[in-house]
Amino acid sequence: MTSSSHPDLIVVGGGSAGCTVARRAVERGLSVLLLEAGPGYSLVSGSPTPPSGVSGPSFFAALEEPGWRWDDLLARRVDGQEATPYARGRGLGGSSAVNAMLGLWGEPEDYDRWERDHGCTGWSWADVEPEFRRLAIPLRRAANLDPTRLGGAVVEACRGQGWVDHHGPRPLGSAGRDAGAAALTQFGDGRRASAFDVHLLPILDHPRLEIRVDSEVESLVIDHAIARGVRLVDGSVIESGAVAVCGGAVHSPWLLQRSGVDNPMIGRGVQDHASAPLTIALTEPVSTGSIAVDAVARFSSGRSAADLQILPIDHLGAAAPGFGLLSVALMDVHSRGTSADGDLNFHMLSDERDVEALVIGLAALRRLLEAPALRRVVAGVFIDDIGTPLDALGEDPDSVVEWLRTRTGDYVHVSGGCAMGRRGESVVDASGRSWEVEKLWVVDASVMPRLPRANTHLPTCMIAERMSRPLVESLVG
């Protein structure tokens, strides 16, 4: 069955990028159909209202909302590990509706490399910094860090060792190392500010905007190398003037693969920030309904600025009361993974430079744990989920590396798979336009040729703002 609707633009995916692209297209007079595989907001007193977990402060509660994550999604982080669940948002707002809300831009060199090394003209730091400053996503600095909680104790410990105050979302640069209250994607009253809340909730009644939830796209409809619309999993076909694939860095490459787009670069160059986690038994358990992440610290391994991040998680949700997590993450990633439809493999730590930097980061974290501020709030530190104490790891470098290869996890910052860049080396050009298929764009974190040293929500929003302009202009003109 073919829908009678024939919008100017179909946007596949209602996440950070999809909501941005849809808003900008509607503003320029285009008719837009946004298709989201997951759920939407319920009507309460005639107004769209998100589930309580999504609107609340804890991302653990958001991830536990039925239907708001891809429950069957698995990924292998390090070669030799088993594939385990990979938490990605599903529903209006995408991962911006279920993430930890941390806002960072990355470092200037991240974007200069996009232009210099990958041929992404117009994506240098000089080009993107003004875009970051103009983002509509509100940021609110976490208030009143509590030194009796893990995040507040980490900040106190860092400052005691001379770290400067965290000035996110801006780059760390020459500051060397910073720690402090995180910049969070929240409204002034503390409510989560997802991309859907910011961009589309205010214009839900717009006559040129149609949103369909629970509408998963099976494939693109391509005729004579022109995108003509989409086919849903129920078999129905919807025609359109153009298609913007904004399904996220997991599902966008898979959709192009299922649709027969002939480009060998699809699914290559996949990345995530590798994370070495330590489980923390807390001396004073905190409310599992409270905010879980309110602080962050950045520093350097000596290889590049801000290539390491310490993230304290004050609690692990209702399933593990009395415990938190303290991780050191590698933010400047050299290892590359692969992604084929249903098979996501990051090959983390396959590049020895990543191993060396993460070893340095873990050593710094272990020294920080000796600070009085952390000794007050930490009752125990464990290197796994069965209670093996940190002391059992020892100081032998080979043992540390072996543990990293066993326990390294992700930051759920998947990127790549539809990278932009030079023809023959990429999936899309620097505007997000497919090299092979006319009227087809990819706009989301999958186009990043290299991960920035930042949590990926704000960089994805920046990409969507920049790519929406040439996309919309090509349809309006």
Tell me the per-residue pLDDT of 156-190, one tens digit each, with 9 for 90 and over.
999 999 999 998 999 999 889 999 999 999 999 99
> Residue 278 pLDDT > 50, yes or no?
yes
Q: Does residue 472 contact residue 8 with C-beta atoms inside 8 Å? A: no
Rounded to an integer, what distance in angstroms lies between the CA atom of residue 87 and that of residue 269? 20
Rounded to an integer, what distance in angstroms lies between the CA atom of residue 411 and that of residue 87? 9
1 — pLDDT class (breaks 50, 70, 90): very low
Residue 463 has a pLDDT of 98
132 — pLDDT class (breaks 50, 70, 90): very high
> Residue 477 pLDDT > 80, yes or no?
no
The class (CATH top level) of 9-103+190-268+414-476 is alpha beta
Percent above pLDDT 70 for the chain: 99
Average pLDDT value for residue range 355-376: 97
> Residue 53 pLDDT > 50, yes or no?
yes
SS3 (DSSP) at 356: helix
Closest CA to 446 of 428, 472, 470: 428
> Residue 192 pLDDT > 90, yes or no?
yes
Rounded to an integer, what distance in angstroms lies between the CA atom of residue 283 and that of residue 289? 18
> Residue 447 pLDDT > 60, yes or no?
yes
Q: Which of 110-119, 344-353, 387-396 has the lowest mean pLDDT?
A: 387-396
44 — pLDDT class (breaks 50, 70, 90): confident
| Burial label, 79 (beta-carbon count in 10 A; 0-12, 13-18, 19+) | middle
Residue 472 has a pLDDT of 98
Residue 468 has a pLDDT of 98
3 — pLDDT class (breaks 50, 70, 90): very low
> Residue 120 pLDDT > 90, yes or no?
yes
> Residue 394 pLDDT > 70, yes or no?
yes
Residue 22 has a pLDDT of 98
Residue 43 has a pLDDT of 86
Structure token digits, residue 398:
């080979």
Residue 144 has a pLDDT of 84
Residue 161 has a pLDDT of 95
Q: In the predicted model, what is the mean pLDDT of the chain?
A: 96
- DSSP conformational letter for 254: H
Q: Strands, E, within 225-267: which ranges? A: 226-232, 237-239, 243-245
> Residue 4 pLDDT > 70, yes or no?
no
Average pLDDT value for residue range 418-445: 98
Residue 2 has a pLDDT of 37
Q: Which of 40-44, 211-215, 279-283, 347-351 has the lowest mean pLDDT?
A: 40-44
Domain with CATH 3.50.50.60 in the chain: 9-103+190-268+414-476
Contacts of 465 (CB under 8 A, 6+ apart): 20, 24, 131, 134, 135
What is 143-181+275-332+350-407's CATH number? Answer: 3.30.410.40
Domain with CATH 3.30.410.40 in the chain: 143-181+275-332+350-407
Closest CA to 443 of 247, 270, 251, 265: 247
